[in-house]
Structures are given as structure tokens and as C-alpha cells.
Structure 1
Amino acid sequence: MTKKILIVLSEYGYWGEELLGPVATFDEQGYQSVFATPTGARARALPPSLDPGYIDPPLGRSVTTPEVAVAAKELDESSRLDNPISLAEWIPDRPYFSEPDYLRKIEAYNRELSNLDEDIKQFDALVIVGGSGPIVDLANNERLHELILAFLRADKPIVGECYGVAPLAFARDWEDRKSIIWGKHVTGHCKEYDYKDGTGFIGVDFNMGPPPYPLEYILRDATGPDGQYHGNVGKEVSVIVDYPFITARSTPDSFPAGEKLVEVLESGLRRFGF
């Protein structure tokens, strides 16, 4: 049976190669890629990610080859990204404690949420694509958190790339609030890769300057004393497999992340990179 991968994208801009890498790998493997966004709006690539002449400020060089730029642009402009699944329509929104008749509403919420475990049986893995956009609408998206928890309960692999790793740190059971990556080994956007200025997004005329939080610090805290964050600064590739999580640091890790997910699904890989 053809494997089906659910790929979540920000509506505020994804990095071209961080989508292209996994999708090209899945296409080659014959997998089906299904796309989702927070509200069902079509995702778009961040313009710098499609420009091979763009110099990444922290690295002082281009991170996009001409070949990747062409392929990422073709994917971004293709019909494949049209009509994504809407997380807002699929997954219920937790009511405020202050809402009238809260008890009945939270019962209805939990009843509707229980359908998610059945819904995700059709998928073999979850991928959360990086770029600056996830800072805005994925990192603290409770619907995405519930989706991640459903994949975790189902013991299905979960991939996070760059800032797409942030939701893994924040997705927590409502009762114990414990990090799901506690005791795990992960990588993700490192402090050395932070912009000092120019963190931008699709659809808003706003330069945030530096990112609003240093993801590395969050990941170091979330993994706890028995886990570890691996920045692998100075190494060209940083991909960590600590099942069920596959985490990738940044752009050059996009193709390897897709390849490692294939190894997880086809060969039973459970640990890699640490």
C-alpha cells in the first residue's frame, strides 16, 4: 500500500528547500504527500528561499543552489499546494475556561478531539516544514499540538525542520504539561543561525528584526537532563533520529531529513546522528 505523508506548512512563509527536500524524496519513493495549513490558505515560499543570489546573513553565503531554486519555485507554483487541509476545520478549538457553560463545551471538545486518532490512521508520518513562517502560526498552534500528540499516541514518526521543530517543544498534554521531547535527542535552528535583523514573513509588511525567541534555548530546556540538543555548528548536515522524532537543523538538512524518514518507514531506523 502506498505510504501517505501529512505535511504541515505555515501560511506566513516556508523555506523552499525545506519543502522540496522531503517532497522530492517522497516522490522518488512513490509516497503520497498531503498538505495542510492552519486555516486552509495556500502556503507560499519565502522569496529569499527561491533566490540563489540571496546571502544568508549568519552564514555569509548563499544557501540555495540554482538547481534547488528552480525546483523549489516549480513546486511552489504548482497546483500541488492548492486546496490544503485546514487544521481549523479539522481539529476543534479548546474553549476558554471563562466561557459560559464551560463544562459542556470541554466535554464536546474532547469528544470531537477523540476522532483525531481515527482520522490519522490514513497517514504514515507527519512532517512540519520550517522557515520563519512557523514562528507565527505553527509554534504555538494548539490544533497542531493536538495533531502531533495524536501521531505520538499512534507511534508514528514525526519530522520537524528548522523552526518546524518548535511545535514539538510546545506540544504537551494539557494535564501534565511535560515536554514530549523530554529525554530525547533533537536538533533544530541553532543560535548561531539567528538573524540580527530581517526576520520576515509572507503577507505582512513587518520586519521582526531578530527572531522572537532563540529556539536552541527552548530545545535545550525541553529535552531535559537525559536528552540533548545538538547544534552541530561547523558540520554541514545536522539530522537527528530519536524515534519517533526526526529533527533537522536548517536548509541543508532538508533532503537528508526526508531520506531518514524513508529509512525509518522502510528499514526500521530508530536512532541516528548522536
Structure 2
Amino acid sequence: MPSALFVVSEEGYWGEECVEPLTTLDEAGFDITVATPSGSPPVVDERSIDPDTVGEETAERVREVHENDERLNDPVPIATVDAADYDAVVLPGGHGTEWDVNQDRHARKLVADAVSGDEGKALILCHAVGILGFTHTEEGKYVVSERDVTGFPNEWEEEIVDENDRMPDGRKLPYWVEDEVKAAGGNWDAELDSDTSVTVDGDLITGRGPESSRAAAETLLEELGIEAPAK
């Protein structure tokens, strides 16, 4: 049975970016483990379960999984897991990742280990792609250096934060994903003219945002040689 480790934010994950890959991999027969920085249950970004923001159907689906999935309700601490034990490491996005997952040394090691060997893949979505701006190989090189990558673009961030980089809830955004990934040597292209954006470079798969979540999960299955479940 294939296995996947989901690394989910306690500061606010974007619902669809977790639920779409989670259910897609579930339907494909994966054994799934959920981890958070401290081992406490992840927190969903309220905007991602707001019907006025994401629509009634998505809001209801995300809320149902968030509240009732046993793995999300009883995660393990990131420090206790090893990427080598899983076929894939999945990092859903959401602004909250900037305050915990992306800054967590154990999460960074999971990503570095997942993309460094001959086995295993890393799927990283949206704001979680920012972790690549802080993750190094054992040789000290940025993992994302010279890799093709997509993620949450500056153009979209400009529509969310104010002139002082404050979020609608008042928190100050510590960095912008696109800027950090570019500074780390990544070849950035968020494909803003496309409805979805998923990029594969070796064992690293990145997705731009919520609308790319399903496509990103299916791409992960394809890269692992596993047939995607019927829609």
C-alpha cells in the first residue's frame, strides 16, 4: 500500500489544498499520516470554509473533512516522522504555513529528504511553497536552486495584504512566497494565464493554489505510477 505524509499548519491551512489531495490519495488507496509542528490538530483558515469566498459546496466539503477526519484530529508531531517512511510528503498551503510549517526545521528536513533520493516525492502547494526559500541540501545548497517551480504569486498577494503587509486579520505577513523562492534560485513561473498551474521538476511537484489542488494530487499519482481515481 502506498503511503503519504501530510504536513499541515496549526496557524491556518487552506481547506481545499488539504482536502483535495487527502481525498484523492485516499481514493487511490494510500495509507495517510497527518503531522503538525507541535502535534496539535491543524487549524483551518476560516476564509477557506466561508461560502461567500469558496462557494457552498467547497465550504461544506472542507468543513466535513476538517471536523471528522480522524487523522486531522489526531496528528503526530513533525519531529517524530521520517520522509523515508513514505512514498510522498504533501504540504498543503494557506497563509498560516508562513508562521509555522515553513519555519520549522523538521518540516524543512522532510522536504529536503523527500526530494534528495531516488525514491519519494514532495508535493507542495500555494504558500507552503515558501518553505523552499529556506530549505537546503546536506551540501548547503538551496533545494529549489535551478528547479522549475510554481506557487502563490506576488500579483495575488498584492490583492490580500495592505501597504504594510498586514493580512485582513491584522497579522503581518513575514515574507512573500514568490520573492523567497526566486531569491533561493528557483525558476519561478506561476502561469497566471492558466486556470491551473502544476510544475514537476524531478521529485519536486508544486501547485499554485486552491484551483490546482486536484490536478496537483493527480500529478503526484502519475509521478508515482499510480492510477488516479475516477472523478
Whether TM exceeds 0.5 here: the answer is yes
Counterpart of 1:144 in structure 2 is: 107
The residue matched to 1:53 in structure 2 has which SS?
A: helix
Counterpart of 2:20 in structure 1 is: 21
Task: Please give the alpha-carbon distance, in whole angstroms, between the structure 2 residues aligned to 1:223 and 1:186.
Answer: 10
Aligned with 2:117 (options 142, 146, 154): 154
Matched to 1:166, the amino acid is G
Task: Please give the alpha-carbon distance, in whole angstroms, between the structure 2 residues aligned to 1:266 and 1:169.
Answer: 29
Q: Does the CA contact (< 8 Å) of 1:132 and 1:199 recur in 2?
A: no
Aligned with 1:245 (options 201, 204, 211): 204
Aligned length: 220
Q: Does the CA contact (< 8 Å) of 1:52 and 1:69 recur in 2?
A: yes
Matched to 2:40, the amino acid is A
Give the unaligned 5+ runs of structure 2: none
Shift of residue 32, structure 1, vs aligned partner: 1.8
Aligned with 2:78 (options 53, 75, 87): 87
Aligned with 2:167 (options 196, 199, 208): 199
Shift of residue 21, structure 1, vs aligned partner: 1.1
Shift of residue 267, structure 1, vs aligned partner: 6.0
Counterpart of 2:86 in structure 1 is: 123
Task: Please give the alpha-carbon distance, in whole angstroms, between the structure 1 residues aligned to 2:154 and 2:146.
Answer: 21
The residue matched to 2:123 in structure 1 has which SS?
A: strand
After superposition, give the CA deviation of every residue in 1:178-232 in whole Å (9 maximum; x if it has no partner): 21111110001100111124626xxxxx6125x32121122222235xxx20121
The residue matched to 1:182 in structure 2 has which SS?
A: coil
Give the unaligned 5+ runs of structure 1: 55-63, 92-118, 201-205, 269-274
After superposition, give the CA deviation of every residue in 1:102-143 in whole Å (9 maximum; x if it has no partner): xxxxxxxxxxxxxxxxx4443100001100110001112111
Matched, 1:217 2:208: no
Task: Please give the alpha-carbon distance, in whole angstroms, between the structure 1 residues aligned to 2:192 and 2:83.
Answer: 35
Matched to 1:34, the amino acid is T
Aligned with 1:77 (options 55, 67, 85): 67
The residue matched to 1:44 in structure 2 has which SS?
A: coil
Counterpart of 2:195 in structure 1 is: 236
Matched to 2:46, the amino acid is P
- After TM superposition, the structure 1 stretch with the greater mean CA deviation from structure 2, 259-268 or 187-196, is 259-268
Task: Please give the alpha-carbon distance, in whole angstroms, between the structure 1 residues aligned to 2:204 and 2:17.
Answer: 17
Q: Does the CA contact (< 8 Å) of 1:161 and 1:188 recur in 2?
A: yes
Q: Does the CA contact (< 8 Å) of 1:185 and 1:223 recur in 2?
A: no
Matched to 2:72, the amino acid is L
Q: After superposition, where does 1:177-196 map in structure 2 within 5 Å?
A: 177-194=140-157, 195-196=160-161
Counterpart of 1:255 in structure 2 is: 214
Q: Does the CA contact (< 8 Å) of 2:125 and 2:213 recur in 1?
A: yes
Alignment RMSD (CA, Å):
1.9
TM-score between both structures, scaled by the size of structure 2: 0.88
Q: Does the CA contact (< 8 Å) of 2:84 and 2:113 recur in 1?
A: no
Structure exhibiting the larger radius of gyration computed from Cα positions: 1
List 4+ stretches of structure 1 deviating above 4 A: none
TM-score between both structures, scaled by the size of structure 1: 0.75
Shift of residue 67, structure 1, vs aligned partner: 1.7
